[in-house]
Amino acid sequence: MALNYSPEFYWYLIGAIFCMIATIIIVWNIFSKKNKTHFYYFFSILSISIFYFFTSFSFLFLSLDLYRASCFAAPISTIFLFLFIDFTSRESVSPINIALISLLSGMVFILVWQENSIIFYDGFGYPSIKTSGIFAVVGNLVLLLNVLFYLYWALRISIKAPKKLRKSSLTFLFGTLLLLSGFFIWSAKYLLMAPIGIFFTGIGMLISIFAWVKEPKILFILPFKAYRLIVLHGKSGVPLFNYNWVEHNVDEDIYSGLLHALNNAIQILKRGSIKYILLTEGVLIIKKSENFLVGLITDKTSKFLTNCINNFTDSFEKKYNSVLSNWNHQTDQFTSAKELIERHFANIPSHL
């Protein structure tokens, strides 16, 4: 069987290689920095890589089945992207986002099997394959939704980024704009007579991923703003350690007294525990341990922040367990807890 080494084969293969490099970078970031949150992002980019690889080889072998298989990857990529952004942004996944992408994905999975949804095409002057009819419209809509959602996310990040992260956030936005331009150039491939937009899409994705791997904090500018963390001794209510991400005018004694009063109320009522308290302009997240209490003030809650404070509390207890059991009312021995902040809150951007 003669192989079809068309320009489309090479363009999609180049795009697939770019995306696979980006996937490898994400895997390295996950395991080297133990950032499990990026697993959703990893599966999103991996799905796009599979989409490009399958599409590339469908042109090489002129296989409708390979092309059809590639069409399953794009909706999966969008689903994981939505999950990643929602997971880092809020306490629960947005039902509206999930309903929308589930509806479109379901249409893709059904329409892809319809007769003449994928056809052979020779308008470029060489054998090719393309989608047609309603399936082409829905498929492109899923890809456009993916890119626009990504761009909206990047724009908000660049607008709200603190000065220290401005350069990285703009680099991230530039890569996303390249990705978007690549999509529109790719959509106009039947007018340009070549799918060169795939090249811009791959480069844009690589640039945006390099930006956040170099400075992972840019991905956590939007979801929330952490203000202050404080650790109190359980019985005495004395502050053992505190850390600030923003400038504040809150008196430490008032803050400590509030947490200590809450801790006493929990012990008196014996009705479970308080996870968080809604404030006028924020949230107080509380984590109680046997000998101490941790309070984190932020503008909103999220599963990511909850995991951070839980992990911090566990590490603090392991590190200072012997000190807390025979505490001599000296607080300077807890200053080394800053390394626990750097470990468990490493991605929280500072606004100081």
Question: What pLDDT digit, counting tens, does each position of 7-29 carry?
Answer: 888 888 887 888 888 788 878 87
The H or E element that residue 11 is part of is helix 7-32
Task: Give the chain's mean pLDDT.
Answer: 80
Equal fold, 7-220 vs 226-344:
no
Closest by CA position to 253, among listed 235, 232, 273:
232
The domain made up of 226-344 has a fold known as: Beta-Lactamase (3.30.450)
pLDDT for the residue numbered 268: 46
Residues in the chain: 352
Confidence of residue 255 (pLDDT cuts 50, 70, 90): low
The H or E element that residue 202 is part of is helix 197-214
pLDDT for the residue numbered 269: 45
The domain made up of 7-220 has a fold known as: Rhopdopsin 7-helix transmembrane proteins (1.20.1070)
- Sheet with 292-298, strands from edge to edge, namely 239-244, 226-233, 292-298, 282-288, 276-279
Tell me the pLDDT tens digit for each residue of 137-158: 888 888 788 788 888 888 888 8
Tell me the pLDDT tens digit for each residue of 29-51: 777 666 666 788 888 888 988 98
10 Å Cβ neighbour count for 65?
A: 11
Determine the average pLDDT of the residues in 233-257. Answer: 72
Question: 351 vs 61, 87, 142, 270, 301, CA distance in Å?
Answer: 54, 22, 36, 38, 18
Question: 13 vs 6, 9, 53, 149, 183, CA distance in Å?
Answer: 11, 6, 6, 25, 16
Tell me the β-bridge partners of 228.
Answer: 244, 297
Overall pTM > 0.75 = no
Closest by CA position to 166, among listed 204, 217, 206:
217
The full set of domain ranges for the chain reads 7-220, 226-344
Tell me the pLDDT tens digit for each residue of 107-124: 888 988 988 899 998 877
Using an 8 Å Cβ cutoff, are 211 and 193 in contact? no
